[in-house]
Structure 1
């Protein structure tokens, strides 16, 4: 028999209030119970009861006393960021980066594995092995591993299936189902650029922006869009494929099968392809080319100048489309910031109008290559802490 509607409503209201109290502690700690009453407008008894529950569940704890405004000094509350841990995995075209984070997003352990031309089975097996390794590194805590987030450079549907990832040569890979067979905790699969955008919004250069675009430039290009503080995924979850918008009609062939894509001119892959046209640069990596450019090599410097120009043209298109407060350039190309910043800015200015750039910030990632891994870890953490969206409590998890 289903619960009486009044009982269900009361439980849902309690969960929502509990979530509000926890979020307030996370955002504003240290603070007292009286501070929470004042800031949230809840009554004293409700706050006291919910705080006691959160302390019992080890999600917050008391620490010392604050300043008194008359009478007893208030006991201060802190968020317990070590009550559990999340695992974030960024699957790149030629690497897998895995991190363990606490509930505040702080990285406590990481593992980077270089990869090359692996099959779907080989790569998913390596992802599983990386997760198992990271699980062994998780510090003891009340809740252990509360979730696993995976960022993939491709189109991911809302059920966690990778519909297509051209640079990985993946199509219709049900990654969530594959991982759920082995790991008994919530699994979150997200497009890598969306994850990077969320990572920068939560922990990086986008913390103070309400609308921003994160441009992930590695072997390929993707973009993640934050509008009104929310990640914009599109009606079916497929937004952000700006790397495959056309910037040159009938231009270079792209890995997606089309021609003239932004990715074909502005990605790490495009840079390496251009380097192959120079005998003394052939076979060089991104890091090699940066070293050569820093040493004054004319050909390497010209490659980065051209790359920055094409990146700027694509960013100008994004500015015209979304009118964001901020654009953040991240992923592996972040290493070349000092070489591409000027041509990027010059191309943005020459390809857009002053009113379109008014108030706009163009920054490079604060999280460097960790943006996506931090972002998918944040999805796992938020899933764990959203009491109002958890219909039933998992084993040992708070309701």
Structure 2
């Protein structure tokens, strides 16, 4: 009985400590008295928990602040420099790595293009990227607190990569490989889920609670924020809308199905269409998204038409998703967002003409504010949250 009572006290203390830390993170600078008022905890509890957090270097104090009549209060701040997080967005043909502080501010980044690499070769590129970003850090109490990786594939709840069709990966345990190499916690997440969380936390989705994030790169993935929380489905497999059929008997997809949405509305679809239409790229034999954007900026009619066609097909899939989920906001992100100028109008027209009228009420269709950084920021934030939760559990002293 005594053991149960102590366990209950520990659970309550952990919850209260998390509440105090979150209050400081979200409202700094803030005084102890204001934390007590905000959380409903008594001043003695707040003072004790604040002292623990100060000792753990997760917060610091400065001040004093303005007085409301008595002694001027000492103000508390979240210590965003207590450690660093590494977030990596793994694309089909690129790696984007960022080093952030605990508030998600990007301190350094590195981008690497590649083509048709094996899993082992991509793993080595990722290791080199982590080594490079780790070398950019300054001395902090906790150092590198974790690594997050966004992967374009189906991720199980225990972070196994079950299938990444555009990378030809099946049953890959990237988490174990990286944790064994670097000795820090690793989070593996579907890149569209990570992008949705990145936009909700740092981007254009901050003020919305029901968000559909459409990540458009070589393939298409969808992340769902429902009632303010990331929705992952029963086993973590939600959001595979890139593989919903939009054309019966259509083109064969790498997932094994036919007529999938990403075959008609992705970066790969854009490039294949450009090749079919013999789009001429000056001084280059290679067709890429960036080169097509450059042509469109210079008024090239054929490349603009290609983007408009992709915009229409994006609208086809987004219309279906809107009718299913009735969201507040749809965000188009990842590499294709750089072509907003030519995608936006055909997408808007399709949604306006095809989506049920009542589903369009209070609906916003936006392009990402973070462009290519949404997923990397999202997995970096997952790593930070995991670290803070673990730090509170690990650093707990005696029950006070």
Q: TM-score range by the shorter chain?
A: over 0.9
Distance 1:8 1:259 in 2: 54
Structure 1's 155 and 393: CA in aligned 2 closer, same or farther, altered over 3 A? Answer: farther
- Find out whether 1:151 has 2:154 as its counterpart: no
Alpha-carbon distance, 1:252 to partner = 2.0
**Corresponding residue of 1:17:** 16
**Partner Cα separation in structure 2 for residue 387 and residue 34 of structure 1:** 26
Matched, 1:365 2:371: no
- So what's the TM-score if we normalise by structure 1? 0.96
CA gap 1:95/1:287 in 2 versus in 1, 3 angstroms: same
Alpha-carbon deviation of 1:3? 7.9
Given candidates 295, 300, 317, the residue that maps to 2:298 is 295
What is the Cα deviation at residue 389 of structure 1?
8.1
Structure 2: which 5+ residue stretches go unaligned?
none
Question: SS in structure 2 opposite 1:276?
Answer: helix
Q: Give the structure 1 partner of residue 277 of structure 2.
A: 278
Match of 2:180 in 1: 181
- Name the counterpart of 1:130: 129
* Aligned partner of 2:323 among 316, 320, 323: 320
Q: Please identify, of 249-258 and 9-18, the stretch whose mean Cα deviation from structure 2 is larger.
A: 249-258
1:237 correspondence with 2:240: no
* TM superposition shift of 1:255: 2.2
Q: Which moved more, 1:266-275 or 1:121-130?
A: 121-130
Encode CA deviations 1:113-152: one digit per residue, 9 max, x unaligned: 1111001111112112211221111221000011110110
SS in 1 for 2:322: helix
1:116 corresponds in structure 2 to 115
Q: CA offset at residue 283 of structure 1?
A: 3.2
- Asked if the contact 1:276–1:283 (Cα under 8 Å) also holds between the matched residues in 2, the reply is no
C-alpha separation in 2, matches of 1:307 and 1:286 = 12
SS in 2 for 1:199: helix
Tell me which residue corresponds to 2:42.
43
TM-score by length of structure 2 reads 0.95
Other-structure match for 1:206: 205
Deviations 1:90-110 (A, max 9, x none): 100110011111000111011
Distance in 1, Cα, partners of 2:22 & 2:384: 12
User: 2:73 corresponds to which residue?
Assistant: 74
Q: 1:364: how far off?
A: 0.7
**In structure 2, what is the Cα distance between the partners aligned to 1:347 and 1:387?**
46
Question: Aligned residues, how many?
Answer: 392
Tell me the distance in 2 between the aligned counterparts of 1:3 and 1:96.
52
- CA offset at residue 279 of structure 1? 2.2
Shift of 1:350: 1.4
TM superposition shift of 1:254:
1.9
Aligned 8 A contact 2:18 2:392 in 1:
no
Distance in 2, Cα, partners of 1:385 & 1:177: 21
Alpha-carbon contact 2:91-2:152 (below 8 Å) kept? yes
1:150–1:376 CA contact under 8 A, matched in 2:
yes
CA–CA separation in structure 2 for the residues paired with 1:78 and 1:386: 18
Displacement of 1:347 in angstroms is: 0.8
Cα distance, 1:183 vs structure 2: 1.5
Check conservation: 2:242, 2:260, Cα contact below 8 A.
yes
The answer for the alignment partner of 1:344 in structure 2 is 347
Residue of structure 2 equivalent to 1:310? 313
Deviations 1:13-50 (A, max 9, x none): 11111110000011111111110010100001000111
In structure 2, distance between residues paired with 1:351 and 1:171: 37
Aligned counterpart, 2:389: 386
Cα 1:278/1:348, change in 2 over 3 Å:
same
2:175 and 2:85 map into 1 onto residues whose CA distance is 16
Return the alpha-carbon distance in structure 2 between the equivalents of residues 389 and 44 of structure 1. Answer: 20
**Displacement, 1:393?**
5.5
Partner Cα distance (1:387, 1:349) in 2: 46
Map residues 26-105 of structure 1 onto 2, 5 A cutoff.
26-105=25-104
How many angstroms apart in 2 are the aligned matches of 1:74 and 1:328? 42
> 1:388: Cα distance to partner?
9.0
Q: CA deviation at 1:278?
A: 2.2
